[in-house]
Structure 1
Amino acid sequence: MKLLRWFIRRTLYAMYEKDKILNSFPPDLAKDVRRVLDMLVMKNDDISSRYYIVNLGGLNIAIPERVYMREQTPSNMTAVQRNILDCIFTRHNNGFVRQRHLQNLISCTEYWTIPFCFKLLGEYVDNILYDVKKHLECNMDSYLRFIGENEKFFDRTKNQMISYWNCYYRLRYPNKESYIGFNIFNNLEMAYNKRLSLP
């Protein structure tokens, strides 16, 4: 009986953890997200209870701040499922894992990848920002659309970038304009304001 209770509790926890990820993607991807999650080994507390919420084409999407599961690369996935997997691991607690999976997304133009990649602009690993810039250059229109839907999130992410620059990079880049984070946000703001001024 104890074994049965343990099994049920473990199964329910696993389902709950997977639901946290399921809510990070638009509903029309649910089947593919479930397929990816079914291939991942996940323990209790592998998914952070803290989220950031963004608007994606009128839908509120809640994405975990961090995932802690072991990095996994299941086989037999479609291109969409691989992109979903890469998005999930851009939230990993290990910066090298985040960067690897971001690099897999650089040429991806799916709009639903933008919240995962944009969030990385507010993190402290400056090498990751160079890869986000590459993704941005392939998806500028999507980034500008995302900013229009998430102006407060844009401001909050920019403030996080500034805070990390102040803590870790100020001595190396005393001129703000020479730091990749300021460069990216300045370019985004210029492009966004230019778009707003169009008739």
Structure 2
Amino acid sequence: MAYQPVFPLALQPAASALLGAMTASALAPAQQGFRVTVQGESLSAPARLYCSPSELRALIEQAAGDSRTLALCLGTRHWDGHVREECLRRLISTDRPWVAPFFVQLLGEYVIEIVEVIAEAVRLATVQDLCGFARENPKFMALTRQRATSYWDCYFRRRFGSLQTYPAIAVLNAIDVMARSQ
């Protein structure tokens, strides 16, 4: 299914401009990824973006403020794992609530280096936005946990002898504990 962009009202102008520019340089059309709720508003993201890494980087550098942050979020959906990690690292200290689903989505993916970046960031930063997001999107959180468990079982069981030591599960557990305690 083709990607149907949906963003909170305040982000719609920036999202339309960014997605228009990314679509113009797309190597393939984006497919629908996840759809979640952030502070009562819907947000959807593509499964993957298939635009040139250099063109994405140029779009990020040309943007400012929330447009740049949104471009980095969309960059976490890029087909190249190195680009996803690069964008994630630049987003780590961002305190916008609509960034949370992009972090959580990466916990349910297979690139351990990206999962480890998030695990380290969660130790250093507040998880307030992640907790609010988790309470608002329990099905998305459960699906992310299922995916993380599957990747641990398939690829990382030897490296992380217990599911609870796998960084994605550790982060999801920390979010759950904090979300329940608030």
Deviation digits for residues 6-47 of structure 1 (CA, Å, limit 9, x no counterpart): xxxxxxxxxxx8x844x2x21211222233345444337331
Match of 2:101 in 1: 115
- Stretch deviating more after TM superposition (118-127 or 129-138): 129-138
Distance 1:176 1:148, change over 3 A: same
Q: Which 5+ residue runs of structure 1 have no aligned equivalent? A: 1-16
Q: Deviations over 1:46-88 (max 9, x none)?
A: 312x321111111222221111111222243212221111111
- Greater C-alpha Rg: 1
| Number of residue equivalences | 175
Please point out which of 135, 141, 144 is paired with 1:157.
144
Indicate the residue corresponding to 1:61 in structure 2: 43
Hey, what does 1:51 align to over in structure 2? 33
Is 1:194 the counterpart of 2:178? The answer is no
TM-score normalized by the length of structure 2: 0.86
Structure with greater contact order relative to length (CA < 8 Å, sep ≥ 6): 2
Q: 1:139 to 1:39 in 2, by over 3 A?
A: farther
Residues 26 and 135 of structure 1, relative CA distance in 2, 3 Å threshold: farther
Mapping for residues 23-34 of structure 1, pairs under 5 Å: 23=6, 25-34=7-16
CA RMSD of the aligned region, Å? 2.0
Unaligned runs of 5+ in 2: none
- The secondary structure found in structure 1 opposite 2:98 is helix
Residue correspondence of structure 1 range 26-175 to structure 2 within 5 A: 26-40=8-22, 41-43=24-26, 45-48=28-31, 50-71=32-53, 72-74=56-58, 75-136=61-122, 137-175=124-162
* Aligned-partner Cα distance in 2 for 1:37–1:135: 28
Shift of 1:166: 0.2
User: How far apart, in 1, do the equivalents of 2:126 and 2:105 lie?
Assistant: 15
Which of the residues 153, 159, 177 maps onto 2:164? Answer: 177
> Separation in 1 of the partners of 2:170 and 2:20?
40
Alpha-carbon distance in structure 2 between the residues aligned to 1:62 and 1:108: 19
Identity, in percent, stands at 26
CA shift digits 1:79-106 (9 cap, x unpaired): 2221111111101122111111001100
